[in-house]
Chains A and B, each alone.
Chain A
């Protein structure tokens, strides 16, 4: 990439937590700003430049027609399009509603139903081709920086997505599944967060979606052995990434 790459950050249906991580880059922010031209970032600045951009980061799941149009425009405007966070990758938390009748969900959230035309919540690759994915709820800052560096180098990041357990073991955490009988999604969830939750004593909730070649049905059976009923197990697998084939298998295993 010649010159400073132009960056755009878009928001669809999301909590803005991932954009916040962008701003939280504090210690490296200066370096990033030095290397990048942040052209469009509504949450961070007032004067936003029009496209085209080199790298576009899209935060949030797609949940309605207007968002599909916004997303397609982003795709047109950006050379490289990145799904920023689990919502944009595979629906994330908003996708919990996908398995309940649509009108019921809407009725619970909105009072004036006629204005709402929401679709199921999907990741952005349901509608446009995506070049890179930053998983996590929220994203991992280290991975964001890594992606930016690779864009500057013109290379695809050499990422691997084994189970969170691999990072958890390296931290030498006392395993919550084994020692505490707590349902931990670590064995089927993609590493990259540094086993954040287990390190703080909380079971992994699967926010980064499935690890490569995850065996979700086996973990579902293990959860069953811990005493969880089928409906609970299904909820675990649908919390963030129920739209992915791997977690869908887990959700339907018992």
Chain B
């Protein structure tokens, strides 16, 4: 019997430093057949193992159509993620996945898409952005709002503005600009971009990910602007020890965030007895 808890080895193929505490790793399963068969949907995550230290759920941040490898953008904050920081090209990590449901791409067909990301929350949304760029015919117009703490905390900084096309608008903001840093965009929390955005409630689908507190203000701000709870999709973070709806940790009402999420329509969450993002 295949053991769904048992990870398989992957090799790190490239390392790209994003910010002082965040790094993007390109990797592929060492077993070429496994890599060839590996598919994921934007918004899904893997469980990453460093043996001896443990496991951590990490979103896949690369283009889902790239079959040769996949990427994780990891903020180094604890046991597993700090150990990964000490690794480099050629080192072995252990991975199982993909898990979770992913973003509602099918629903974007013929609609406008508003992407709202904060900090590391851009990582699980980047596959959506790749999807939009690869398939301009699959949506109407798109707008990306991204906020970070400072200009130096921006992920994918050399890509961000390249994502702008005729159909895709990118708007950036930072909470603060330390003395001397160059910054040609907005200053303020990500919701300040709502004032200048083109997106209107009609026929728009919102996808958002970021710190819990940021998503709370995003949802609140959008609802005040006339967006409905059913239009807004959020990706939730919860403690995860299995990723496959067994360990119970990620339970939110009757839902398992690892299996039924991490992406939820905000409307679904408002039905739960336990308050989420309010």
Please list the residues of chain A having a beta carbon within 8 angstroms of any beta carbon in chain B: 153-156, 158
Query: Which of chain A's residues have a CB closer than 8 A to the CB of B79?
Result: 155-156, 158
**Given A153-B52, A156-B78, 11 other A-B contacts at CB below 8 A?**
A153-B53, A153-B83, A154-B82, A154-B86, A155-B53, A155-B79, A155-B82, A155-B83, A156-B79, A158-B54, A158-B79
Tell me which residues across on chain A come within 8 A of B54, comparing CB atoms: 158
Question: What would 13 A/B residue contacts be, using CB atoms closer than 8 Å?
Answer: A153-B52, A153-B53, A153-B83, A154-B82, A154-B86, A155-B53, A155-B79, A155-B82, A155-B83, A156-B78, A156-B79, A158-B54, A158-B79
Please name all residues of chain B whose beta carbon is closer than 8 Å to the beta carbon of A158 when the two chains form the complex: 54, 79
Closest A residue to B78 using CB positions: A156
B-side interface residues, number (CB < 8 Å): 8
Residue interface mask B81-113, A partner, CB < 8 A = 1:
011001000000000000000000000000000
Q: Top 3 A-B pairs ranked by shortest CB distance?
A: A155-B79, A155-B53, A158-B79
* Least CB distance, B240 to chain A, in whole angstroms: 14
Complex Cα distance A155/B81, Å? Answer: 10
CB of B95, distance to nearest CB on chain A (Å) = 20
Query: Which residues on B sit within 8 Å (CB–CB) of A155?
Result: 53, 79, 82-83
Which of A153, A154, A155, A156 neighbours the largest number of chain B CB atoms within 10 Å of its CB? Answer: A155
| Chain A proximity of B168: nearest CB distance (Å) | 41
Q: How far in angstroms is the closest Cβ of chain B from A212? A: 15
Q: Which residues of B (62-87) have their CB < 8 Å from a CB of A?
A: 78-79, 82-83, 86
B53: chain A residues at CB < 8 Å are: 153, 155
The distance in angstroms between the C-alpha atoms of A155 and B50, with both chains bound, is: 12
Complex Cα spacing A154 to B78, Å: 11
Q: How far is the CA of A48 from the CA of B112 in the complex (A)?
A: 72
Please give the distance in Å from B77's CB to the nearest CB on chain A.
Answer: 11
Least CB separation from B83: chain A residue? A155
Beta-carbon nearest neighbor of B86 in chain A: A154
CA A154 – CA B54 in complex, angstroms? 14
What's the least CB distance linking A18 to chain B, in Å?
26
Contact code string B241-267 (vs A, CB < 8 Å = 1, else 0): 000000000000000000000000000
**Shortest Cβ distance from A160 into chain B, in angstroms?**
12
Report how far A156 CA is from B78 CA in the complex, Å. 8
What is the minimal beta-carbon distance from A200 to any residue of chain B, in angstroms?
32
Least CB separation from A155: chain B residue: B79
Contacts of A153 in B (CB 8 A): 52-53, 83
Q: How far is the CA of A158 from the CA of B53 in the complex (A)?
A: 9
Chain A nearest Cβ from B76, distance in angstroms? 12
**A159 vs chain B, min Cβ distance (A):** 11
What sequence of 0s and 1s flags, for each residue 34-56 of chain B, a beta carbon within 8 Å of any chain A beta carbon? 00000000000000000011100
Chain B: minimal CB distance from A43 (Å): 31
Closest beta carbon of chain A to B56's beta carbon, Å: 12
- How far is B58's CA from A95's CA once the two chains are assembled, in angstroms? 46
Bound CA span A155–B82, Å = 8
In the docked arrangement, what's the CA distance between A251 and B220, Å?
A: 44
> A131 → chain B, closest Cβ, in Å?
15
Q: Once bound together, how far apart are the Cα atoms of A154 and B86, in whole Å?
A: 11
Shortest distance from the beta carbon of A9 to any chain B beta carbon, whole Å = 26
Residues of A within 8 A of B78 (CB): 156
Task: Tell me, in angstroms, the Cα distance from A161 to B229 when the chains sit together.
Answer: 39
Chain A residues, Cβ within 8 Å of B82:
154-155
Q: For A157, give the chain B residue with the smallest CB separation.
A: B79
A153–B80 Cα gap in the complex (Å)? 11
Give Cα A158–Cα B82 distance, bound, in whole angstroms.
13
Chain A residue, CB-CB nearest to B53: A155
Alpha-carbon distance A154/B83, docked complex (angstroms): 8
- A46 CA / B101 CA spacing, docked (Å): 63
Q: Across the two chains, which residue of chain A brings its CB closest to B79?
A: A155
Residues 196-250 of B at the A interface (beta carbon under 8 Å): none
Query: Please, how many angstroms separate the alpha-carbon atoms of A155 and B52 in the complex?
Result: 10
Closest residue of chain A to B80, judged by CB?
A: A155
Q: Which residues of chain A have C-beta atoms less than 8 A from B52's C-beta?
A: 153
The answer for the CA separation of A158 and B55 in the assembled complex, in Å, is 12
Could you tell me the distance between the alpha carbons of A153 and B79 in the complex, rounded to whole angstroms? 9
Q: How far is the CB of A184 from chain B (nearest CB, A)?
A: 28
- Within the complex, what minimum Cβ distance (angstroms) separates A231 from chain B? 42
A153 to B86, CA, bound (A): 11
